[in-house]
Amino acid sequence: MTDLSYGSRGDNVIALQKQLNAAGYNLAVDGIFGAATAAAVRDYQSRNALTVDGIVGPQTMNTLFEKENGVAKYESPVGGRMATLYEMMTNRPVFTYDPENDAMYRYYRRQYTAAAVQARDDTLGRTAALTGGYGSSYGLSAAQQNYLNYMNKLWGIMPTLYQQAYNHYHNEGDDLRAEYSALLAADKAAYQKYLYYSKQYQEAKKAAAAAAKSAAKAKKTTSTATASRRGGKVVAMTV
């Protein structure tokens, strides 16, 4: 295949456009190396560390055509993210709940602890006022009871905090699986597109080879006929 550049036409350009489409572009497969094809070639060259000149020479051809029987190897456009998600799902730890790692628990602990201390101190102050400023066993008991009442409220919300943490863990897992399923569908669609364009390329390649063979045969027939008209002497001609 000769170098292809802006203005080139024919089956080789059709094959080029199909391979570019298989690589993720969306070109009209018309056999005309126009502005859109040239832009796609330059972008492809840039992405593959090639000389960005818009000319499909040996290096660009090698990356597009000379892999796996003339078809560029399939590379999933979402493969990297899928691998990351798969790793996250398979190595995801089982659910455990540690209140100290729960921001909501720490918030409620601060609130209830402050309220418990305030209730205890208020009770001690009131009972001391009733006894002329002296403490009493009753006052201490009542203050401690008020303190415990608020702390029990903290323990009372633990089941709710646990359930909230579990729901978050469960929903996070669902989100991972949903994203992976969506990417799997996108990968399947991309692979089917790759297979389609690979088939088209192979058919175009066969058609080009058949055309070249037919042209060579026609040229040979013309040369033989010319030689016969000149008395059997073969004369080299260009037709």
pTM: 0.50
Tell me which residue has tokens 């089956």. Answer: 11
Give the per-residue pLDDT at 1. 55
Extract the tokens encoding 185: 């569908």
Give the per-residue pLDDT at 131. 60
Question: Which residues have C-beta within 8 Å of that of residue 77, sequence separation ≥ 6?
Answer: 24, 186, 187, 190
pLDDT tens, position by position, 164-193: 999 999 999 999 999 999 998 988 887 887
Question: Would you list the DSSP string of 122-182?
Answer: HHHHHHHHHTTT---HHHHHHHHHHHHHHHHHHHHTHHHHHHHHHHHHHHHHHHHHHHHHH
Give the per-residue pLDDT at 238. 46
Residues of the chain under the 50 pLDDT cut: 67-68, 234-239
Give the per-residue pLDDT at 195. 75
pLDDT tens, position by position, 199-229: 766 776 676 667 777 777 877 777 666 666 6
Residue 238, phi-psi category: left (phi > 0), alpha (psi -120 to 50), beta (remainder): beta
- 41 by Cβ neighbours in 10 Å (0-12 / 13-18 / 19+) ranks as buried
| 3 state DSSP class of 39 | helix
Residue of 59, 208, 30, 85 whose CA lies nearest to 41: 59
Extract the tokens encoding 113: 């602890």
- Which stretches of the chain are DSSP H helices? 11-22, 35-47, 58-65, 79-90, 103-130, 137-156, 158-229
End-to-end CA distance of the chain: give it in Å, rounded: 21
